[in-house]
Amino acid sequence: MRYQVTAQHLAHIFPELTLKHERLLNQLNLDLGHLQLLRDGYQAWDSQDQRFWLLLLALVDAVNQGSLCLDLNHPTVNHHLQTIGLTQGLALATTQDWQQFKLNQQPVIKFEQGCLYFTKYWQLETQLQLALKRLLRQYTGVRFTAVQVATAAQQVTGELSFEQIEDKQVLAIVVSLLQPFSIISGGPGTGKTTIMSSVLRGLMLLGYEAKDVCLAAPTGRAANRMTESLHEVLSHRIKVPAVTDAELISIEATTIHRLLGARAQWRGFQYGEHNPLDCKVLVVDEVSMVDVALMRQLLQAIPLGCRVILLGDQFQLPSVDSGAVLADLMPPVGSTGEYSSDMWQKLEVALTPFNCKAELMAELNTIESAFMLTDHVTVLDVSKRNQKDIAELSESVRLGDSDAMFKQLSLASIDTNGQVAGDMAAWNWVEQIGVYWLPTQTDNQAWQETYLQWIQWHYFKSAIQFKSIITELNDFDQSSLTTYHNQLDQLFAVINSNRILTLVNDTLVGSLHINAQIAEMMKQRLAVTGSENRFHGSVIMLGQNSPSLGLFNGDVAILLAANNGQLRAVLPNKSGYRSHSIHVLPRFTSAYAITVHKSQGSEFNHVLMPLPEDEQHRLLSREIIYTGLTRAKQSVGIYAQRSTLETAVKRQTTRYSGLRFWYNQEH
């Protein structure tokens, strides 16, 4: 829990300084933990320079915004410093002897190449960069010739049941087979799962075995989704499955923490720099969600003979904790498609079997001096999952083009009863539009009626069997769950088809309030009783992991009344469905509305996304809007004031770091 910082705190910590306390609190994101560190420094260090302490307060703000450092080279940072009364920040930092500022005989601050750090974050950054350089330069495993890669890539892509595979997908597969370390970035529907399965199948052809492979993701839900997606391709998208496909299907993705053997009681890991993992191929999905500390630990734990494939979407929300590692790993704008002359020659051979070779090679350029990650990154830009209008809208948001966004959005009106275009059935018409904008209503009751009508349309009108199946499953036989698979399939088809995605938990547009109102409505519609979200037919999401039960934060289940009088949580698994007594579940909430952060790695046919009214809300950014939009496949509605939505799309989240993967040339 973060306690509220007050003007009195600042006055107490810096008693001799004439700081404008209230103004600083309004402009900086400060926390007591870092302020107590500065308090100790203020008492121990010989400095009464007010500008010095303003600089360190700005560093605290930067860290609390997710940055690893205060980048004094950046114009935006210097403009922000001016708003708190500090000019010439770089000159000030350059003149300091930062080594003298110690606590417990350890340096607290590090200044390097114009970036000011707390030592902890400088060490994480440095160790991450060294670990990556080690994997790139000292790989000891098998490398394949371009001819071998061409043969394997041609076979695995030819065995896909798709009518056509995109050119960039072919390039990503070939690069990942040529390079022991590769990064693939792309939005939903750009084919990352197809590429992952094809690369793994290619590696099997080239001599690897399924037991050599580890799959990992940042969260339990993301790991489950990774497993499900891989199983879907291998089970249903291969023309003639091989024996090795069945072996690959047996692989279960795990969380990065479990892979590394996280030890909560010691706040450490079993695997790391001095005790590497036992794997020859590691694939990590949803890398945008991985913070700098976890990525450092993971890279240090990877053995030198292991091939690595990192997957993610660089434009999604960054990690909850510090850093934006995937964004740092990506090439600067305008540098995609640049390869060393050696790699270009290998690609020319490896792409020979493909009709797209000439077009692809024409788009690739050679550079004389390669950077650390040159030849290792592929950016995908063609999405086939989202409805066309959603893909175009998401692209406008990604580019920060609010004018184009509003031209693409269809305006939908809401009456005082929360009805769209006259009645509930009109939701069908609205959602056929694909993307629509619902302007914020001054009447809060109208908003409540809007989302209640939206949920009722999806649960009871467009899916008329939901209530009858819930009634049928009342008093179900928990010992014969397999007999209910057909009904459960229909229920989860409804549940997984729609979601309200919020930016916040609190307020009238937050998930907690919305879920509470929907739960009461659902009890009335289903004609059941129960307290809060504990009732027959309640849709819930787990909020904690329970590894012993195989349950993970983000898992969605439905509560059903069993024949022993208990509510049981029923949720899908690899072989069908399983159930657990409500009494053994970890913490859970209703799942009709979830935050955009929780939705990462998921997809829904229909999404409704309400935004906070406060235009200055710290969570409003183009990244969170983009992430919410790209969860939707068929329709997405945004409930917001025009000015709020415009502000969000124009505000880009920037997390500063000193990571320089694309600026230090490798000779």
Question: What's the pLDDT tens digit per position in 85-119?
Answer: 999 999 999 999 999 999 999 999 999 999 999 99
Q: Is residue 255 part of a domain?
A: yes
User: Residues 507, 421: one domain?
Assistant: yes
Q: Which residues contact 286 (CB under 8 A, 6 or more apart)?
A: 217, 218, 219, 222, 226, 311, 312, 600, 601
Q: Is residue 663 part of a domain?
A: no
What is the domain-level CATH number for residue 167?
Answer: 3.40.50.300
Q: Give the range with max mean pLDDT: 263-277, 406-420, 428-442, 602-616.
A: 602-616
Q: What is the pLDDT of residue 3?
A: 65
* Phi, psi angles (nearest 5°) of residue 619: -85, -10
Mean pLDDT of the chain: 90
User: Residues 393, 300: one domain?
Assistant: no
Q: Could you tell me the pLDDT band of residue 415, with boundaries at 50, 70 and 90? A: low
Condensed to tens digits (0 to 9), the pLDDT of residues 57-79 reads 999 999 999 999 999 999 999 99
Q: Is residue 536 part of a domain?
A: no
Name the binding residues for ATP: 186-193
Q: What is the pLDDT of residue 84?
A: 92
Q: Could you tell me the pLDDT band of residue 369, with boundaries at 50, 70 and 90? A: confident
User: Residues 231, 285: one domain?
Assistant: yes
Q: Is residue 107 part of a domain?
A: yes
Domain edge (last residue) among 89, 123, 157: 123
User: Residues 469, 617: one domain?
Assistant: yes
Token match 């707390």: residue? Answer: 118
Domain edge (last residue) among 384, 412, 445: 384
Q: Is the pLDDT of residue 255 over 60?
A: yes
Residue 299's alpha-carbon distances to 19, 128, 267, 325, in angstroms, are 43, 7, 18, 12
Q: Could you tell me the pLDDT band of residue 422, with boundaries at 50, 70 and 90? A: very low
Cα 584 to chain centroid distance, Å, stands at 29
User: Residues 239, 205: one domain?
Assistant: yes
Q: Is residue 134 part of a domain?
A: no
- Edge-to-edge order in the sheet of strand 115-118: 70-71, 115-118, 109-112
Query: If DSSP codes are grouped into helix, strand and coil, which group holds residue 88?
Result: coil
Lowest-confidence segment of 273-282, 368-377, 419-428 by average pLDDT: 419-428
Mean pLDDT of 616-636: 92
Q: Is the pLDDT of residue 154 over 90?
A: yes
Q: Could you tell me the pLDDT band of residue 433, with boundaries at 50, 70 and 90? A: confident
Q: Could you tell me the pLDDT band of residue 283, with boundaries at 50, 70 and 90? A: very high
Mean pLDDT of 511-515: 96
Q: Give the span between the Cα atoms of 609 and 593, in whole angstroms.
A: 9
Q: What is the pLDDT of residue 4?
A: 81
Q: Could you tell me the pLDDT band of residue 421, with boundaries at 50, 70 and 90? A: very low
Lowest-confidence segment of 316-325, 354-363, 413-422, 481-490 by average pLDDT: 413-422
Q: What is the pLDDT of residue 91?
A: 94
User: Residues 378, 402: one domain?
Assistant: no
Q: Is the pLDDT of residue 215 over 60?
A: yes
User: Residues 143, 104: one domain?
Assistant: no
Q: What is the pLDDT of residue 188?
A: 83
Amino acid at position 487, single letter: Q
Lowest-confidence segment of 48-52, 381-385, 406-410, 562-566 by average pLDDT: 381-385
Cα atoms in the Cβ-side hemisphere of radius 13 Å centred on 491: 25
Q: What is the pLDDT of residue 544?
A: 86
Q: What is the pLDDT of residue 417?
A: 53
Q: Is the pLDDT of residue 137 over 80?
A: yes
Residue-number span of the structural domain to which 315 is assigned: 139-384
Q: What is the DSSP letter of 545?
A: -
* Phi, psi angles (nearest 5°) of residue 414: -120, 135
User: Residues 150, 49: one domain?
Assistant: no
Q: Is the pLDDT of residue 144 over 50?
A: yes
Q: Is residue 540 part of a domain?
A: no
In 3-state terms the chain splits into helix, strand, coil percentages (rounded to 5) of 45, 20, 35
Q: Give the range with max mean pLDDT: 329-338, 360-369, 469-478.
A: 469-478
Q: What is the pLDDT of residue 463?
A: 58
Q: Could you tell me the pLDDT band of residue 385, with boundaries at 50, 70 and 90? A: low
User: Residues 379, 515: one domain?
Assistant: no
Q: What is the pLDDT of residue 514?
A: 96
Q: What is the DSSP letter of 376?
A: S
Q: Give the span between the Cα atoms of 59 and 121, in whole angstroms.
A: 11
Q: Could you tell me the pLDDT band of residue 429, with boundaries at 50, 70 and 90? A: low
Q: What is the pLDDT of residue 251?
A: 94
Domain edge (last residue) among 335, 350, 384: 384
User: Which regions of 455-508 does DSSP assign to beta strands (E)?
Assistant: 498-502
Q: Give the span between the Cα atoms of 297 and 299, in whole angstroms.
A: 6
Q: Which residues on neighbouring strands pair with residue 578, listed in sequence order?
A: 571
Q: Could you tell me the pLDDT band of residue 413, with boundaries at 50, 70 and 90? A: low
Q: What is the pLDDT of residue 655?
A: 92
User: Residues 118, 211: one domain?
Assistant: no
The count of domains in the chain is: 3
Q: Is residue 502 part of a domain?
A: yes
pTM metric for this prediction: 0.88
User: Residues 392, 452: one domain?
Assistant: yes
Q: Is residue 573 part of a domain?
A: no
User: Residues 169, 218: one domain?
Assistant: yes
Q: What is the pLDDT of residue 443?
A: 76
Q: What is the pLDDT of residue 667?
A: 38
Mean pLDDT of 189-194: 88
Name the binding residues: 186-193
Bridge pairing between strands 106-107 and 102-103:
antiparallel
